[in-house]
Amino acid sequence: MKRIITITLIIVFLVGACSLTLILNKKKIDEKSKLEGNLTSIPVFVTTIGKKTLPGSFEVNGSFSAIHELTLMSEGQGKVTGLMFNTGDVVGEGQALAKLDDVLVKSQLLLAEAAYNKARGDLAKYEGLLKADAISSQQVEDSRLALRKAETDLTTLRKQLEYTTISAPIKGTVVKRYIEIGSLLVPGAPVADIVDVSRLKFIAHVAETEAAMVRKGDRIKVSTSLYPGVTYEGIVVSVGVKADEVKRFPVELEITNDPGRPLRAGMFGTAMFHSESVFEALVVPREAIVGSIKTPKVYVAENDRAILKPVTIGIATDHEVQILGGLTPGEQVVISGQINLDNMRRIKIVNSK
């Protein structure tokens, strides 16, 4: 019995000690939080911005896509009776890929040919009778109309017979097959997705100052991380005349694929634009930029307060970002301590750089 009482007292003592420790720790945390919450200013590092001479050469990331890519649709209707391709096959332009049941169309075509031959013979006979004044001119005109209808029916059925053979309209690789033997197709039904990657287009989005230095016909080197040290030559085929939502202009390059080191649609790469020209630009350190690339902002130190300002950015390097609008030379921007800031927060400049 004594042993049980002793154990109980020990447990009560330990619980009380733990509770006291927790209370004292909470008091310390609350006092610390109160002290931090009472900070009148946030320490920050700033730098004074100005203009700098930048080289005309720059690099831009982008992606590859196929120049020719399409979904082949059926123009005829009927049951698939033959398949001559699989996913992953390389097909040539005009190559037969599938065959539809053509028995009914061939039967109708034989009747149409017979009707056409009869209509042509009737017209020749009626024209002879008209010369002998044996029939009226209206009968001859009706015969001519019958012949035209027979010609139309014959042309239509010949085209329908042609549609029973489905052929590839371009050279390329089949990336998806939609049909199987026995599938019932109607006009407009998908047959296969075909992509031609013998030539690719590379799309990069550049700032307005960069777009001004790019010309149609320029030869640009493009690299990809898949083949380190290997470059592909691209030719600029278009420079966008309208910016996107982040004020970037699309530049499209055309590249001939290398069978030895093949590129694939959807891969990423880097285009290296080279220019001998240089220009002056207002720049800020990269670490000064806060927010997303779509809505970049910086904190400017004014009268011991952090003013959050939206900016328009241009060329970006590893260490600096060109400012196209929103700032002026001589302003001080915050480069460290932004995580604790919000607009109009009082700050203390620790040092200027």
Domain boundaries, the chain: 42-56+279-352, 58-67+196-277, 70-191
Class of the CATH-defined domain 70-191 = mainly alpha
Residue 161: HSE in the Cβ half-sphere, 13 Å Cα cutoff: 15
Q: Output the pLDDT for position 81.
A: 95
- Kindly report the number of other CB atoms within 10 A of residue 207's CB atom: 21
Q: Residue 34's pLDDT is what?
A: 40
Strand partners, 16: none
Query: Whole-angstrom Cα distance, residue 47 to residue 45?
Result: 7
Question: What's the pLDDT at 154?
Answer: 93
Looking at residue 222, its pLDDT comes to 94
Cα separation of the two ends of the chain: 75
* pTM across the whole model: 0.60
**Which pLDDT value is given to residue 138?**
86
Give the pLDDT confidence score for residue 273 in this predicted structure.
Answer: 86
CATH code for 42-56+279-352? 2.40.420.20
- What DSSP line would sit under 182-243, residue for residue? T-EE-TT-EEEEEEEEEEEEEEEEE-HHHHTT--TT-EEEEE-TTSTT-EEEEEEEEE-SS-
Same fold, 42-56+279-352 and 70-191: no
User: At CB < 8 A and 24+ separation, what contacts does 307-315 make?
Assistant: 307/343, 307/344, 308/341, 308/342, 308/343, 311/284, 312/247, 313/207, 313/289, 314/207, 314/208, 314/209, 314/210, 314/281, 315/54, 315/58, 315/207, 315/209, 315/210, 315/281
Q: What H or E segment, with its residue span, contains residue 128?
A: helix 103-131
CA separation for the pair 195, 197 (Å, rounded):
6
Per-residue confidence in pLDDT tens, the chain, 353 aa: 555 555 555 554 555 555 555 555 544 444 443 434 445 788 989 999 888 877 767 788 899 999 888 999 999 999 999 999 999 999 999 999 999 999 999 999 999 999 999 989 888 888 888 787 778 888 888 888 989 999 999 999 999 999 999 999 999 999 999 999 999 999 999 999 999 988 999 999 887 777 878 889 999 999 998 899 899 999 999 998 888 877 788 999 999 999 889 998 889 999 988 776 667 788 888 888 888 767 889 999 998 899 999 988 877 776 888 888 889 898 999 998 888 888 988 988 887 55
Q: How would you list the strands of the sheet with 78-83, edge to edge?
A: 165-167, 96-100, 78-83, 184-185
Residue 298 sits at the vertex; the CA angle it makes with 292 and 304, to the nearest 5 degrees, is 150
CA distance 232 to 262: 11
pLDDT, position 106: 93
- Domain 58-67+196-277, CATH class in plain words: mainly beta
Write the DSSP assignment of 274-329 as a string of letters. --S-EEEEEEEEGGG-BS-SSS-EEEEEETTEEEEEE-EEEEE-SSEEEEEES--T
